[in-house]
Amino acid sequence: MRLTEREFENLKISHAGTVAQKRLARGVRLNYPEAIALISAQCLELIRDGNHSLTDIQQQAKKILGKNMVLNGVPQMIKEINIEATFPDGVKVVIIRNPICTDMGDLELALYGSFLPIPSIDLFQKANDSESGSHPGEIFLKDAQPIMINGDRDSIFITVTNESTELISIGSHFHFVEANRHLAFDRTLAYGMRLNIPAGDILTFNPGEQKEAPIIPIGGQRIIHGGNGLFDGPVNDENLKKNQKNLRKNNFLHVDEKNSLEKVNRRSTKYTIPRELYLVRYGPTIGDRILLGDTNLVVQIEADLTTYGEECTFGLGKVLREGMGQASNTRNDIALDTVITNVVIIDAVIGIIKADVGIKDGVIAGVGKAGNPQTMSGVTAGMVIGVGTEVIQGESLILTAGAIDACAYFTSPDVVTEALMSGVTTMFGGGTGMNGSVTMSTPGPNHIKYMIQSTDDYPMNFGFYGKGNTSKAEGLSKELEDQIVAGAIGLRLDERWGATPSAIDTCLRVAEYHDISVHADLDSLREAYSAPDSISMFRDRVVLIPCTETAAARNNFFELLQQPNVIITSCNNKAAVYRQPGENQKQFAIEDFLHDIGAISIISSSSQVTQSRF
């Protein structure tokens, strides 16, 4: 077979859809990926039949699954499905919005082509009746009060007539004086003004239509760039008089309003947006609460650093265009490389806020209000959007720090993908591949060098522990220092290499001198020391100890937990080997409780460790 990448992807969808069909036929309600897979696979099958149009597929897709046939919250999570498929007349993209919109779908259509038995509808109805409540990621609005935009500026109305035979649309942040030459209005009155409508909205003028448009002064430094180039430069009387000749020269319609002074004095009412609509367009704002996934955790936005009416939006007629939300004549060394707009941030330091996030030279350069200081007020210093700035739309998304896995075993590249999918962006650990000793250390300078080189292409921050098991009565161990010079971020004392008091003391001496961490086992065999001896041999030096592996097995576990220099971490890979049946559950339950109260603050994966090695 010679298949394209798209055809390979369709095979994956078909296989996943088949799995979902089998579960549905057993009366199992589908989860998020299963629901998407089944709808997509069935659409592909219907398209392959060759007797359905694109419109037919869109209509049939909404009948496949109902709310009773999927888990609670799945319909709200699946807002849109896009399917690329080959119709008899060519390749098309099928866009299905709100695909799960009925209470009970069509089971025959959902299982079409599978030859599986049709389950009883009662199975799904009973399951649905037993569930109620919120759905994952649900947002609870603070109140029903509308949100006022551009509240710090007064708006006036200007009469505009479309003298052309075409529909003309003007975006919220377009310099109104530069508008289409076939629009007849008082351009002197519109100088330095823009529309007073929600950020990213457009106001349309039908052919021959006359209407009053609300306009407000632009903000910031009040500099006009772009458009038709009629009034380029700072907004002032001198530039207005100097550039008025450009209107006549370029045949732009201009009508002096008879009651201009009256128009200026007649203030319009402030523009407000329903809070529900604001949520859809720009995401939640201050006071709104968000349910985190399918947990019972709810967070509330404490501050909104964006400006109502000046939100950064991207797209046709939106804010982030040249001379509007994007600054002109701004060099790339000043402008941001990337901006994430209108995103909810959950951070241990700055709290739970909504803001724009600027990225420059690979690091976060600012959190606040991004945009064009030439036309916008309140743009955070260092967060200018220029021609070299990429935009990531963060509306309805949460931005938070990536997790750190403090105890990872590097036995396969697959661990990186799994870590990224779970939100881990930094991995500390060790290993040399599948056939190594698997003791969470990368021993020796050469192995450290090779591991650093082999992980360069992965989008993950790596830190490698060198092997710390050696003894030296006095001074610093050179073989341990060699590993630190080679790039090790810390040292690992695994008891399978010998975790005697001498080895622990030697390793801690080197770590204290070079200010690095030590991840140490305690001797489970108790060959060289007993529980009461463990604390004294640390001599107030900082050490990380895995919890259920070794620390929790000792009689002085809670005494260890209280030491300011001892950091207990969760690392459970060897627990099943050293415990009697039933003891694991007790130790894990204790560990869970200690995490809940904050006594243990570090959790790690011990990923891909086979217990048969111990």
Region 136-152: mean pLDDT is 92
Which pLDDT tens digit goes with each residue over 572-610? 554 444 445 555 567 677 777 888 888 888 877 775 554
Q: Quick one: what percent of the chain has pLDDT higher than 90?
A: 71
Structure confidence at residue 368 (pLDDT): 97
Domain chopping of the chain, boundaries: 5-124, 153-250, 272-399, 403-604
Which two structure tokens, joined as six digits, stand for 537?
């041999």
DSSP letter string over 150-197? STTS--EEEEEEE-SSS-EEEETTS-GGGS-TTEES-TTTTTTEEE-S
Structure confidence at residue 613 (pLDDT): 39
- Residue closest to 284 by CA, chosen among 341, 344, 340, 339: 344
Region 543-565: mean pLDDT is 74
Structure confidence at residue 411 (pLDDT): 84
* Fold match, 153-250 / 403-604: no
**Topology of domain 5-124, per CATH?**
Urease; subunit A (3.30.280)
Radius of gyration for the chain, computed over Cα atoms and rounded to the nearest angstrom: 32
Structure confidence at residue 553 (pLDDT): 55
Q: What is residue 139's three-state secondary structure?
A: strand
Structure confidence at residue 575 (pLDDT): 45
User: How far apart are the C-alpha atoms of 290 and 292, rounded to whole Å?
Assistant: 6
Say yes or no to pLDDT of 614 above 60: no
Say yes or no to pLDDT of 548 above 80: no
Say yes or no to pLDDT of 508 above 50: yes
Region 334-339: mean pLDDT is 97
Q: Which CATH architecture has domain 153-250?
A: Ribbon (2.10)
Where are the strands (E) in 374-450, listed by range? Answer: 390-393, 398-400, 403-409, 424-430
Structure confidence at residue 433 (pLDDT): 82
pLDDT band at 131 (very low <50, low <70, confident <90, very high): low
Region 478-485: mean pLDDT is 97
User: How far apart are the C-alpha atoms of 520 and 508, rounded to whole Å?
Assistant: 10
Which pLDDT tens digit goes with each residue over 180-233? 999 999 999 999 999 999 999 999 999 999 999 999 999 999 999 999 999 999
Structure confidence at residue 221 (pLDDT): 96
Structure confidence at residue 577 (pLDDT): 45
Range scoring the smallest mean pLDDT among 131-140, 199-208, 217-226, 452-461 = 131-140
Which pLDDT tens digit goes with each residue over 372-426? 999 999 999 999 999 999 999 999 899 999 999 988 888 888 889 889 998 999 9
Structure confidence at residue 609 (pLDDT): 58
**What CATH number should be reported for the domain whose range is 272-399?**
2.30.40.10
Structure confidence at residue 551 (pLDDT): 54
End-to-end CA distance of the chain: 45
Which pLDDT tens digit goes with each residue over 300-318? 999 999 999 999 999 999 9
Say yes or no to pLDDT of 370 above 50: yes
pTM for this prediction: 0.85
Say yes or no to pLDDT of 299 above 80: yes
Say yes or no to pLDDT of 612 above 60: no
Say yes or no to pLDDT of 525 above 90: no
**Topology of domain 403-604, per CATH?**
TIM Barrel (3.20.20)
- Angle (nearest 5°) at CA 164 between 162 and 170: 50
User: How far apart are the C-alpha atoms of 284 and 61, rounded to whole Å?
Assistant: 30
